[in-house]
Amino acid sequence: MSNVAVLSRLQFDAHTRVIDVDDGFTMDQVAAACAAPAVGYQTSHPDPSKPLRVRRTTDDDTAPTLPRDLTVKAAGFTHFECIDVFVE
Amino acid sequence: MALLDRSAWYNIARSTNWTPKYVPESELFPKDQSDPYGIPTAEWETFDEPYKVSYREYVSVQREKDAGAYSVKAALMRSNYYENADPAYLSLLKMHYGAIALSEYAACQSDARMTRFSKAPSMRNMATFGMLDELRHGQIQLYFPHQLVTLDRQFDWAHEAHHTRNWATLAGRHALDDVMMTRDAMTTSLMLNFAFETGLTNVQMIGLSADAANMGDYTFSNLITSIQSDEARHAQIGTPVIEIMIRNGKKAEAQQAVDVAFWRIWRVFALLTGIPMDYWFPLEKRDRSFKEYMHEFVITQFERQLRDVGLERPWYWEHFLDDIETHHHCQQAGIWSWRNTVWWNPTGGLGPAERDWLEQKYPGWNATHGKYWDVIIDNLRNGRPEKTEAVGMPAICNMCQIPISNKGGTVWKARIYQREYEGRRYNFCTLVCRWVFDTDPVRYKDWDTIVDRMYNGQISPPTAENILRYMGSGVVSKGGRDAHDYAWVKGYDRSPQAAE
């Protein structure tokens, strides 16, 4: 187990954030970790009726959504991996 | 004693040059300090500055300026102006002095480099006066806030900020190190004198001077006007250099230097100027919006100056126009949320009337930046002030050193632009900051942001307390808090409709 710093781009948030995640975290846990310091502080949940999902950040926002149970290690996230956290 | 009329001797004095006999010219004017562009020596004899001043005239005029600034200050101190001033306005002064005072002092070195290494004798002459200007600016902007330290310890940052590793200081220092401290004499004149001083200083000086006068702070208004009059003179050093470069086939190099410097300084000065103008001044004291200032005093003027010297608008002009609508709003939000990291007390300052004003000046503000404040205002109105203080760290740009943010709400434009270089991953706030990095990666690659320092062991362990201490927050003075203790939120209680 080790920590990986990801750069979170949470849907509708004005900031991008540095979030430490454990490499055993699932994408659901990653999304929760990214939402924790933002939702209710400076932004609202984009749609509380839907789960937050994770994909890698790309210029055209077309990267595939990662499976909810995929782990950080299995996804191959490395230091300063840039991710979108969003609802589908 | 009879004196010769200036016209009888000035041209000889300013253009006196000589051919070195004891050392080769390459030692007198080393390429990497004087002219990496290879301009023929004879071309430097054509350098012609518009402002012509003798030392006797200079001293006389500067003495008058200082006497005026110090006498206004003495009068205002007797009236206890600062004891009774709006706390948000005091924050502007704290931010300004901390960011600017020692930057001016550092600029002495930039002008000294031009004084020593410029090949044009009249450029050396002008830079000598520029060097003295910057010394005066450093001294006066240290002395004035020093007398306010007894009022509020945060004013000590005027002297201390540049000696700390506060993130805001790092942002300013990174930009200034780049454009004025680490370039050859020619490039310094393009970046500092033309792009920075001609292009952007006016917005800081003219804009803030007018607003300070509206606040009744004639000390600061007079001080800024006094400095601006010096800047207007020595800023002219860069123009003849650009003309000489273009005549000698170096337009692309001149253009790139101007483009890099203009962007770098813009990213910092938008915070120093835009935030106070649009958020901290009381509505009734606002002369106009930051955007209006930018269009009136910078865009129109800078475009004309670029045209006049034969350069083009920077390639990123559309990005720049968009940044005028965005950057300082995002940073007002971020700085307020991470207020314990800075040495001033920012105000949220967003009552219903202020929001209406912002929506009018920046159509769409409520749907984007306003969404951020909706959450904050809801927390404050419902007794959750602790949830208005940010936790965790924002991602920070490896070029401008400023948190990477953009419009929130449904437009959701915050995005990180990355670059892999020699195995390291760099993060940028915009395509333009990434472009600056790409122009010279070797120059920029080793700098660490505050976030980098958390992960490479410079801040260890990287706890919230250690990060604040590392940045000097709570060390030099207490960190920031809301300047008005959230009083601006009360406007929503009086206006439930606006709160909706």
With an 8 Å Cβ cutoff, are A15 and B425 in contact?
no
Interface of B with A (CB under 8 A): 330, 333-334, 337, 369, 371-372, 374-376, 379, 387-388, 390-395, 403-410, 412, 414-416, 418, 425, 427, 451, 454-455
Q: What is the DSSP letter of B85?
A: S
Look at residue A1 in the predicted model and tell me its pLDDT.
Answer: 58
- Domain B55-499 in CATH: superfamily? Ribonucleotide Reductase, subunit A (1.10.620.20)
For the cut 60, the answer to whether the pLDDT of residue A36 exceeds it is yes
Reference B99, options B192, B166, B146, B181; nearest CA is: B166
Distance CA B499, CA B156 (A): 38
Look at residue B496 in the predicted model and tell me its pLDDT.
Answer: 52
Q: Which CATH class name applies to A3-86?
A: alpha beta
With an 8 Å Cβ cutoff, are B418 and A18 in contact?
no
Buried b (16+ CB within 10 A) or exposed e, B398-416: bbbbbbbbbbbbeebebbb
With an 8 Å Cβ cutoff, are A13 and B375 in contact?
no
Best interface-test mutation with B: which of A4, A7, A10, A41 has the largest number of B CBs within 10 A? A41
Query: Is residue B409 left, alpha or beta, with left meaning phi > 0 and alpha meaning psi from -120 to 50?
Result: left
Q: Which two tokens stand for residue B18?
A: 């000589």
Query: What are the residue ranges spanned by the domains of chain B?
Result: 55-499
pLDDT tens digits, one per residue of B220-270: 998 888 898 888 888 889 999 999 999 999 999 999 999 999 999 999 999
Look at residue B37 in the predicted model and tell me its pLDDT.
Answer: 97
Query: Is residue B472 left, alpha or beta, with left meaning phi > 0 and alpha meaning psi from -120 to 50?
Result: left
Reference B136, options B173, B169, B104; nearest CA is: B104
Give the other-Cβ count within 10 Å of B367's Cβ.
Answer: 14
Look at residue B53 in the predicted model and tell me its pLDDT.
Answer: 85
**Residues B191, B261 contacting (CB under 8 angstroms):** yes
Peptide bond into B20 cis (omega under 30): no
Q: Which two tokens stand for residue A58?
A: 């790309």
Look at residue B206 in the predicted model and tell me its pLDDT.
Answer: 78
Distance CA B330, CA B332 (A): 6
Contacts of A32 in chain B (CB under 8 A): none
Distance CA B345, CA B154 (A): 9
Give the other-Cβ count within 10 Å of B149's Cβ.
Answer: 15
With an 8 Å Cβ cutoff, are B334 and A15 in contact?
yes
Count chain A–chain B contacts defined by CB atoms under 8 A.
91
Q: Which two tokens stand for residue B125?
A: 């002459």
H or E element that contains B424: strand B424-428
Contacts of B390 in chain A (CB under 8 A): 37, 41-42
Per-residue pLDDT of chain B (500 residues; tens, 9 = 90+): 677 888 888 888 877 888 899 999 999 999 999 999 999 989 998 998 877 888 889 999 999 999 998 888 888 877 888 999 999 999 999 999 999 999 999 999 999 999 999 999 999 999 999 999 999 999 999 999 999 999 999 999 999 999 999 999 999 999 999 999 999 999 999 999 999 998 888 666 777 888 899 999 999 998 888 898 888 888 889 999 999 999 999 999 999 999 999 999 999 999 999 999 999 999 999 889 999 999 988 898 899 999 999 999 999 999 999 999 999 999 999 999 999 999 999 999 999 999 999 999 999 999 999 999 999 999 999 999 999 999 999 999 999 999 999 999 999 999 999 999 999 999 999 999 999 999 999 999 999 999 999 999 999 999 999 999 999 998 889 999 999 999 999 999 875 555 45
Look at residue B203 in the predicted model and tell me its pLDDT.
Answer: 60
Q: How far B440 CA lies from chain A's nearest CA (Å)?
A: 22
Residue A58 pLDDT grade (very low, low, confident, very high; cuts 50, 70, 90): very high
> Mean of the pLDDT values across residues A38-61?
96
Q: How far A31 CA lies from chain B's nearest CA (Å)?
A: 15
3-state SS assignment for residue B366: coil
H or E element that contains B417: strand B417-421
With an 8 Å Cβ cutoff, are A40 and B394 in contact?
no
Nearest CB partner across the interface for B393, out of A11, A18, A82: A18
**Residues B326, B406 contacting (CB under 8 angstroms):** yes
Query: Is residue A39 left, alpha or beta, with left meaning phi > 0 and alpha meaning psi from -120 to 50?
Result: beta
Look at residue B287 in the predicted model and tell me its pLDDT.
Answer: 81
pLDDT tens digits, one per residue of B9-22: 888 887 788 889 99
Alpha carbon separation from A81 to A17, B2, B106, B427 (Å, rounded): 11, 75, 37, 10
With an 8 Å Cβ cutoff, are A13 and B414 in contact?
yes
Reference B91, options B499, B484, B500; nearest CA is: B484
3-state secondary structure chain A: CCEEEEEEEECCCCECEEEEEECCCEHHHHHHHHHCCCECCCECCCCCCCCCEEEECCCCCCCCCCCCCCEHHHHCCCCCEEEEEECC
Q: A40: nearest CA in chain B? A: B375
Contacts of A16 in chain B (CB under 8 A): 394-395, 403-405, 414-416
Q: Which residues 47-76 on chain A approach chain B with CB closer than 8 angstroms?
A: 57
Distance CA B108, CA B103 (A): 9
Query: Is residue A40 left, alpha or beta, with left meaning phi > 0 and alpha meaning psi from -120 to 50?
Result: left
**Residues B432, B417 contacting (CB under 8 angstroms):** no
Q: How far A68 CA lies from chain B's nearest CA (Å)?
A: 23
With an 8 Å Cβ cutoff, are A12 and B388 in contact?
no
Distance CA B344, CA B323 (A): 24
